[in-house]
Amino acid sequence: MSGRLSRRAWWRSVRARTTVAATAVVAVALTAAGLAVLAVLRHNLVESASLQAETTARDVAVELAAGADLARLTLPDAEDHPVQVVSVDRRVLAAAGELQGEPPMADFGPYSKSRDEDDDQDEDEDEEEEEDDEDEQEEGDEESASTPADPAAAEAQFGDVRLTVDAEDGPQPFRVAALPVTLPNGQPATIYAGASLETADSAVADARQAMLIGLSPLLVVVAAVTWLVTRRALRPVEAIRAQLAEIMDGDLSRRVPEPGSRDEIARLATTTNATLAALEKSAERQRQFIADAAHELRSPIASLRTQLEVAQAHPDLLELDGLIGDTIRLEHLAADLLLLARLDAGEQPRSDRVDLTILVREELTHRVGDRIAVDMAVPDEPIMVTGSRTQLARVLGNLVDNAQRHAANSVRVTVEHGSNGQVLLTVTDDGPGVPPADRDRIFQRFVRLDDARTRDEGGAGLGLAIVRDVVERHSGTIHVTDGAPGGAHFVVTLPAAQV
């Protein structure tokens, strides 16, 4: 079982699959190239044999055109270049060596048996026998007249045959050329001249055997080179994997090695380190968040426990107002922590169309009994944005709560159109304002300025952090400046909804 698993693991590796694929591709390519080379080689050798056979046939035709007697023709050795002169009626008139007394070596050519049969089938079977003889005589005369007297003007036909020119060797392959000629007595005939294909077949066989012998070592070399090159190329990947395996144990401060090359693996290592840095930052933020949440929860829980213990020992000293206040603080803190957890998990806001003017009017209507009255300046026409109405209401509520906590006499909320298709929501108070050095820090979690550390109204330092995270999830921005009469001036910028 372990051997089977190890084989499966080997096959699943990129290096093994790359080696097998590369070797298979090279094998197919070399096989196709070898077959093409063998085909071209045989074609060239056959063409060379055809030229030899045609040259031999034309040499014999030149002798016949010069008036040479059939019995005194100069014919080459029949073993390498067999030659026959065959009449129209398929009689061998002259032959070289062992081909004397043998039938014609080929059945193709201008006066072959198949052509005579086709011509006979074209004749009219209803004609009388005398008319047939006259037609055959006239046809023979026409053929004699059409046979070119110049051997160089005749066109040769070619074919492959097997001839026995040596009883010991048996039938051998030959390339045969059939050349029409006219004998000195005016009779048409065909010269069959052959050239041995044994050399061509032997050369092709030797080349094929050499290719087959060299294919296996070449494929072994290709596989070995691919294996080594792939191993070297994937070595940084293995180093990155091993380092990540160790980092997964919990030490996010470590980083994977980045190779000096500027290839894809180097970019992978760079991206991996950037991801690890983001994870380390997120983990550190989460640890700090948990520590701060535990610290913030400790005080109201301890206060509740103390009051309950006092009430248990002295029921007449029970203060319901304090218990309710601490419970409300716990409820608000739990709700804030839950919302932050959802935001950290990547929860995206809804894509509803929200009218900010209606939202501001409805939310501020519920605050008529607050310690600090809230003035609002919103236009009559709708100002639309895209997002979650609940979360945008939470943004407005947290900003107003923060302004009321620090204001002296007034809080003002405005909604207006900004530039470049933006919408501005501003909340201004007449309190002490925010020092420039703290204007970024106040949007961090569990951060309270010195004058807010009394935890009045149950503030835990999460309201502005929630505002910033929600606004950023809505593709907006928030910043704080000095108010016109003094105090803090918070400006939320959101993209206007598309019409």
| Residue ranges covered by each domain of the chain | 1-110+147-249, 255-346, 348-495
d(Cα 408, Cα 427) in Å, to the nearest integer?
14
Q: Which fold has domain 348-495?
A: Heat Shock Protein 90 (3.30.565)
SS3 3: helix
Report the pLDDT averaged over residues 82-111: 85
pLDDT of residue 317: 66
Mind listing the pLDDT tens digit for each residue in 324-347? 777 777 777 777 777 777 777 777
Higher pLDDT: 303 or 137? It is 303
What percent of the chain clears pLDDT 70, i.e. is strictly above it? 83
Mind listing the pLDDT tens digit for each residue in 234-287? 888 888 888 888 887 777 778 888 887 777 888 888 888 888 888 888 777 777
Q: Give the chain's largest Cα–Cα span.
A: 155
For 33-64, letters b (16+ CB in 10 Å) and e give ebeeebeeebeebbeebbebbbebbbbbbebb
Task: Answer yes or no: is pLDDT of 219 > 70.
Answer: yes
Q: Are strands 477-482 and 488-495 parallel, antiparallel or unpaired?
A: antiparallel
Give the Cβ contact number of residue 255 at 10 Å. Answer: 15
Tokens of 445: 């979690």
Mean pLDDT of the chain: 80
pLDDT of residue 383: 92
Q: Give alpha helix (H) positions in 407-481.
A: 463-473
Q: What is the pTM of this model?
A: 0.50
123 pLDDT tier (thresholds 50, 70, 90): very low
d(Cα 219, Cα 21) in Å, to the nearest integer?
12
Mind listing the pLDDT tens digit for each residue in 152-178? 667 889 999 988 876 566 788 999 999
141 pLDDT tier (thresholds 50, 70, 90): very low
11 pLDDT tier (thresholds 50, 70, 90): low
Residues 6+ apart with CB under 8 A from 410: 372, 373, 375, 429, 430
CB-CB contact of 427 with 405 (8 Å):
no
Q: Which architecture characterizes domain 255-346 according to CATH?
A: Orthogonal Bundle (1.10)
Helix (H) or strand (E) holding 456: none
pLDDT of residue 321: 66
- List the single range of 93-107, 182-196, 307-321, 341-355 with lowest mean pLDDT: 307-321
129 pLDDT tier (thresholds 50, 70, 90): very low
Task: Answer yes or no: is pLDDT of 473 > 80.
Answer: yes
Report the pLDDT averaged over residues 386-400: 92
CB-CB contact of 350 with 472 (8 Å):
no
| Beta strands per DSSP E along 296-355 | 352-355
Mind listing the pLDDT tens digit for each residue in 413-471? 999 998 888 999 999 998 888 988 888 988 887 777 654 444 444 456 788 988 999 99
